Amino acid sequence: MAKNLVIVESPAKAKTINKFIGSDYIVKASVGHVRDLPKSDLGVDEETFEPTYEVLEGKEKVVSELRAAAKKASIVYIASDPDREGEAIGWHVMKLLGTDATKVRRILFHEITKNAVRKAIDQPGEIDMNKVNAQQARRVLDRLVGYKLSPLLWDKVRRGLSAGRVQSVAMKMIVDREEAIKAFLPEEYWTFAAKLAAGLPPQFIAKLTKIDGKKADVTNEEQARVIETALKSGSYAVETVARKEKRQSAAAPFITSTLQRTAYNRFKYPVKRTMQIAQKLYEGKELGSFGHVGLITYMRTDSVRISDDAIAEVRQYISTKYGADILPEKPNVYRVKKAAQAQEAHEAVRPTSLEHDPEAIKDHLTREEYNLYKLIWDRFVASQMKPALFDVTDVDIRNGTYTLRASGEVLKFAGFLAVFQDASVEGAEDDDEKPDNSKALPAMNEGEPLTLVNLDTRQNFTQPPPRYTEATLVKALEENGIGRPSTYGSIMTTIQTRDYTYKSDGKFFPTQLGMLVTKLLKQSFGDIIDEGYTAELEGKLDEIEEGRVEWHEAMRDFSLKFNKDLVRAGKEMVEVKRTGVETDEVCEKCGSPMAIKFGRFGEFLACSNYPECKNTKETARGDVAEQPEGESIVCDKCGKPMQLKRSRFGQFYACTGYPDCKNTKDPRLLKADIPTEPQPPCENCGKEMVLKSGRYGPFFSCSGYPDCKTIRKIGGSKGTPPKPTGVPCPNCKEGELVERRSRRGIFFSCSRYPKCDFALNNRPVPRPCPKCAAPYLLEKETKREGHIEYCNNPECDYRAPIAARPNAANE
């Protein structure tokens, strides 16, 4: 008897489905796409826009096996992913089956569970050609732009460059932000924070908000000192007290973009890595007695919809675990974005079953998988809980013609906050990032006099817009309707590998090449790489998927516009391949201006008087970075100064004697906390230990590598021991808190780790709290308060500048 054939995309997905699909079925994987446009030519008829497809190199064996299996099967079920890309993969597979394509049925499921797969098989459908055509349109668009723009850049700038319909827009956004930062002119403003005391504790902060009933706008020191004198000499009294209740509702369960952003904010996972981890959770993990289980629903989605079965399950879970008082009378329903209406069959990213608690299956997951799974779990559970309730108090305080405001709030019902807080709040390390009304105010009545404890008068300057991180770039792309979250990871990878941008401290910086290419594209293709036009094209693709626009017609409209721009750009675009980009630097050999040129190995400086003068200077290793104040590094090979530079791989020191001296140093190897005394020889082979730098920082390695692979971590048990703080561990009472270093920086943990896992982010000091007598205090530095100490006891509000601490100078 012939068996039915189920074709999925990945072997991991095939393995999971095979566990519970039954003996009447065999499962095969296409291993992603099987056909695509040819690499060697355009592959698109420019009159009809019909694409020419060919079997991908290396996929011949897979295609042959699928054909052979289809011939033996009575029915072929295409079970590729439930999105445009998955639909297109299924269509390409069907086309390759030839006459056996008549057996093909399309099945869709958004989670890899036994019930979902069986239900899909019982209700098969057909390939959705609207989705296929939307994917074909996107592929043809990208091919037309990439294959026609890139050669133009090869001719005008440098061979090997690339341009893309979405990639170039993302790059433009980064360059535009950099230009806005450079053009930004800071404006001075002054703030006044009065620390006041009422009849009852605690003391609190009130900020100047109005002068003579108008918004306080203090822009110079002369005005500020007049106000400071008045505030210090005048008397304070409560003018009004306003109390209200504030509700904070839970966020919707994750969609692709919010998952990417939250994973970056909380764990610093790059977008591409988040999608890789989510893919593994979706395709399934081995969970011991449960077998191979798909843990989350499909992770490429713009929909926040939740199935009725999942809502019933989570409401039962919440009621049992957290109590009925935290469960709303009716399920929370979240508004679907317009862009997601075409995906209404999709669900949000959620756990497939609440039977698999993150803590219960933690041992079966990697650390990254556990972190992401728990994040998805908590957000989903919290999304069906009641809002958090706060009692909010706003107090206006009068001092002559000046009005100050103090705000405070008290959490009276945790609601969903019992389970999940947004990463932007949890990850705020600086007080300026936290809400000002995060503390309770003392009881006060209108007309009550207040006592001034101290007044903080501070000069400030407006700040330029921040550079993009992966999280904020995802948000900006999504808000502008550019691309799709499933493509964001590849976009960010491409603009870095093409040397258009690099990341430093998690922020995107454009390179000289990136700024030049963007400038040229903006001049010649300003509409094509415009955010609004790109979003309009994305909308057109959605309309194709919905069957409202014929895809060939949409390609024709785009091509007419694009080809006109292309012809004009070929004539008008500035050619910098030979001349380069002139700089202010002067050639030391002939006095001519030096120009930035772009070679196969990157950027370099060359004399503009070429070929009469052939002087060059290598800058391809990186742009000059901001040198730390007072830091002077001398080359240990030639004695010349070393300059801090940066490349897309990070910062490094380079000898200014280049190219005669090509010495470089990793800044991490010059830190003061790296031991300078000679290291003991290798304990395994007796050879010298040498200092090296890896992806997680500096370490000592045996000079006998690769024959001997001994390493000693800096600050670990085989290198410099962790630094003691003198504070006994408050958790186990037996160990001591010591300073340690991880890939993310310094932290403080118990010396008995892993037996005791107590840890702190801020430095503990062995000094009792002057207010509650807690055995130790914590120190940190904030933008607003400077270097402060505070009590770690959540019931104590002690907090003081270190400079103002009694006898600080004598300690």
Interval 505-522: pLDDT, tens: 889 999 888 999 999 999
Backbone torsions φ then ψ of 272, nearest 5 degrees: -60, -40
For the ranges 118-127, 304-313, 696-705, the lowest mean pLDDT is seen at 696-705
Q: How confident is the model at residue 801 (pLDDT cuts 50, 70, 90)?
A: confident
- For the question of whether the overall pTM of this predicted structure is more than 0.85, the answer is no
Coil, strand or helix at 624: strand
Question: Is residue 94 over pLDDT 90?
Answer: yes
Q: Omega before 611 cis (within 30°)?
A: yes
For the question of residue 322 being annotated catalytic, the response is no
Give the relative orientation of helices 531-545 and 167-183 as an angle to the nearest 10 degrees.
150
What pLDDT was estimated at residue 719? 42
Q: Considering 236, 298, 500, 653, which one is annotated as catalytic?
A: 298
Question: Could you tell me which residues come within 8 angstroms of residue 387 by beta carbon, excluding any fewer than 6 positions away?
Answer: 247, 248, 249, 250, 415, 416
Coil, strand or helix at 523: helix
For the ranges 205-209, 265-269, 770-774, the lowest mean pLDDT is seen at 770-774
Is 30 or 679 the better-scoring residue by pLDDT?
30
Contact 755, 743 (CB under 8 A): no
Question: Is residue 782 over pLDDT 80?
Answer: no
- The count of other CB atoms within 10 Å of the CB of residue 262 is 24
| Of residues 699, 734, 695, 737, the one with CA closest to residue 715 | 699
* Beta strand residue intervals within 249-381, DSSP E: 285-286, 292-293
Coil, strand or helix at 394: strand
Q: How confident is the model at residue 296 (pLDDT cuts 50, 70, 90)?
A: very high
Mean of the pLDDT values across residues 176-199?
A: 95
Q: How far apart are CA 540 and CA 388, in angstroms?
A: 40
What pLDDT was estimated at residue 253? 97
| Of residues 116, 97, 89, 92, the one with CA closest to residue 16 | 116
Q: How far apart are CA 466 and CA 761, in angstroms?
A: 25
Q: How confident is the model at residue 337 (pLDDT cuts 50, 70, 90)?
A: low
Is 483 or 782 the better-scoring residue by pLDDT?
483
What pLDDT was estimated at residue 462? 95
Question: Is residue 255 over pLDDT 90?
Answer: yes
| Of residues 42, 55, 428, 476, the one with CA closest to residue 271 | 476
| Of residues 395, 391, 378, the one with CA closest to residue 247 | 391
Mean of the pLDDT values across residues 238-246?
A: 96
537-584 tens-digit pLDDT = 989 999 999 999 999 999 999 999 899 989 989 888 888 877 788 788
Question: Is residue 174 over pLDDT 90?
Answer: yes
Is 132 or 793 the better-scoring residue by pLDDT?
132
Question: Is residue 423 over pLDDT 70?
Answer: no
What pLDDT was estimated at residue 580? 80
Q: H-type helices in 157-270, by residue range?
A: 167-183, 221-233, 256-267
Q: How confident is the model at residue 269 (pLDDT cuts 50, 70, 90)?
A: very high
What pLDDT was estimated at residue 810? 34
Mean of the pLDDT values across residues 705-712?
A: 80
- What token pair was written down for 47? 């009159």
Residue 399 one-letter amino acid: N
Contact 624, 618 (CB under 8 A): no
- What percentage of the chain exceeds 70 in pLDDT? 88
Question: Could you tell me which residues come within 8 angstroms of residue 233 by beta carbon, excluding any fewer than 6 positions away?
Answer: none
Distance of CA 556 to the CA centre of its chain: 37
Mean of the pLDDT values across residues 82-97?
A: 93
Question: Is residue 811 over pLDDT 60?
Answer: no
Rounded alpha-carbon distances, angstroms, from residue 801 to 481, 758, 766, 790, 792: 46, 26, 17, 9, 15
Question: Is residue 731 over pLDDT 80?
Answer: yes
Q: Give a three-class secondary structure readout of 151-173.
A: HHHHHHCCCCCCCCCCHHHHHHH
Considering only the C-alpha atoms of the chain, give the largest distance between any 2 of them, rounded to a whole number of Å: 98
Q: How far apart are CA 648 and CA 622, in angstroms?
A: 7
What pLDDT was estimated at residue 619? 62
Count of alpha carbons within 13 angstroms of residue 53, beta-carbon side: 17
Buried-state track 535-565, b at ≥16 Cβ within 10 A, e below 16: bebbebbbbbbeeebebeebbeebbeebeeb
For residue 409, the cross-strand partners are 392
Q: What DSSP string runs through 14-30?
A: HHHHHTTS-TTEEEEE-
346-402 tens-digit pLDDT = 789 999 999 999 999 999 999 999 999 999 999 999 999 999 999 999 999 999 999
Mean of the pLDDT values across residues 168-173?
A: 94
What pLDDT was estimated at residue 689? 77
Question: Is residue 281 over pLDDT 70?
Answer: yes
